[in-house]
Amino acid sequence: MNNNLLVGQIIKLDIRSMGINGEGIGYYNKLAVFVPGAIEKEEVFVKITEVSDKYAKGEIDSFIRESKRRVEPICKFFNECGACTMQHISYKEQLKIKREILINSLKRYTKLDVNSIDIKLTKESEELNYRNKSQMPFKDTNFGLALGLYAPNSNSFIYVDNCVIQKSLVNAINKSVLSILNRHNCHTPRVDNGELKYLVVRALDLGEAQVTFVLDHFDEKYRTIADEIINEIEEVVSVAYTITNKYDVGVFGDKVEILSGKNYIKDEMLGLDVRLSPKSFYQLNKKQSECMYSEILDNCIKESDIVFDGYSGIGILGLLAARKAKHVYSVDLSQDSIKNARIIERANEISNITFYSDRIENRFPSLLKDGIKPDVIVVDPPRSGLDYKVIKAILESDAERLVYISCNSSTLAKNLNDLLAKYKIEYIRPYDFFTETALVETLCVLVKK
């Protein structure tokens, strides 16, 4: 049943709420209609673009009543790019919407009385120029090689010469590297058996930057190009490449090789000397990471604590916790991440942390069998949330406190249904790690009942 709604039909719609992707939601004969670019409390004419039994999608045809919270997007690519889905909304309203997205997830997936939970206001961020890393595809054009993004759900390439949410240095390095590549007449695999797929650039607060080419196949000319990049761009101290095929998940291939310069670039986080390899995961919004990590260290970690740190990545939070706690046991499946974590451990001369490249559902029970009982467990899972085997391991550990860092409020809510068998929520705080988008990072602190 689709309420006789047809693709191409224009309907009048009151926007009643905001969706998890930043779209407005209205209802037509009880059928939810998702409208990108619409804002809660607006009244719009909508042209229907997709209809199913459970929902419909549409695009704004014209406004009847505009929200006072609607602003002019600062980015010239806003209407084409599709990455910053909330740039047309005032920043204060964005913060409210992110809290509402979290609350709506809790209402939908749990039986909790959200009014009885201490849900803090969204922690604000810098609005622009916060991303310390870019990851952009190449495209051959009539004017040479270009960098940009593909519009959502399409093959339409948008040449982006300045992304307003990326750090200025990242944008500048992208332009300079592109100029050097065009000087060498480089191409994508679609032209002249070219090599280039993506350019990955990371630029950190201490001034060091890293460039990685994602290639279809290797050509020796990239050694010359890498040397030129290091010589011509002062901040770039490391140039690498990785080769990918159609079976690889994500942008990077299995191996990353350094072409010129250092194996690692340096940064500093809350006094920790950080070393990053090209493939290392590092929060894109460093200042917000520092705010969240400081909150965890201040409120959840004591000097006498044994800490289990799950999905530890390169170990930043675990290493910070080790400077305060009795001992930290950090677990991550990625061998590359654990290798990087141990380099940071040695650089900071931290001796009370143990790293494991393993699955959490294997390592946590193994530590318990060895007589090691955690006081605090910290988990920062991917968007898919915690697997039930991991939840089972957490519950069996009987830790006094559980710190759950979530990048997906829906899977957080679903996981809470199981975790609340033994724990109760102390408080939840949404964080704005990704301004101008609908993504919400959430800190959920639980204590044993």
What does the pLDDT look like over 238-260, one tens digit per residue? 999 999 987 777 789 989 999 99
- pLDDT score, position 249: 74
- Evaluate the CA torsion angle 428, 432, 436, 440 in order and state its sign: negative
- Under the banding of pLDDT at 50, 70 and 90, the label for residue 3 is low
Percent of the chain with pLDDT over 70: 99
Alpha helix stretches (DSSP H) within 162-304: 168-183, 221-232, 286-300
- pLDDT score, position 192: 83
The residue type of 409 is: S
Determine which one of 163, 300, 407, 444 is catalytic.
407
Looking at the structure, tell me whether residues 56 and 145 fall in a common domain: no
| Residue finishing a domain among 24, 50, 70 | 70
- Evaluate the CA torsion angle 101, 287, 447, 309 in order and state its sign: positive
Range of the domain at 226: 133-269
Looking at the structure, tell me whether residues 365 and 319 fall in a common domain: yes
Looking at the structure, tell me whether residues 241 and 307 fall in a common domain: no
Burial of 176: CB neighbours in 10 Å, binned 0-12, 13-18, 19+: middle
> In the 3-class helix/strand/coil scheme, how is 290-350 assigned residue by residue?
HHHHHHHHHHHCCCCCEEEEECCCCCHHHHHHHCCCCEEEEEECCHHHHHHHHHHHHHCCC
Residue-wise pLDDT for 357-381, tens only, equals 999 999 999 999 999 999 999 999 9
What's the token pair of residue 358? 């393993």
Three-state secondary-structure class, residue 103: helix
- Under the banding of pLDDT at 50, 70 and 90, the label for residue 75 is very high
What's the token pair of residue 293? 């990590």
Three-state secondary-structure class, residue 333: coil
Contacts of 113 (CB under 8 A, 6+ apart): none
Average pLDDT value for the chain: 95
| Residue finishing a domain among 220, 241, 269 | 269
Catalytic residue flag (residue 407):
yes
Looking at the structure, tell me whether residues 260 and 292 fall in a common domain: no
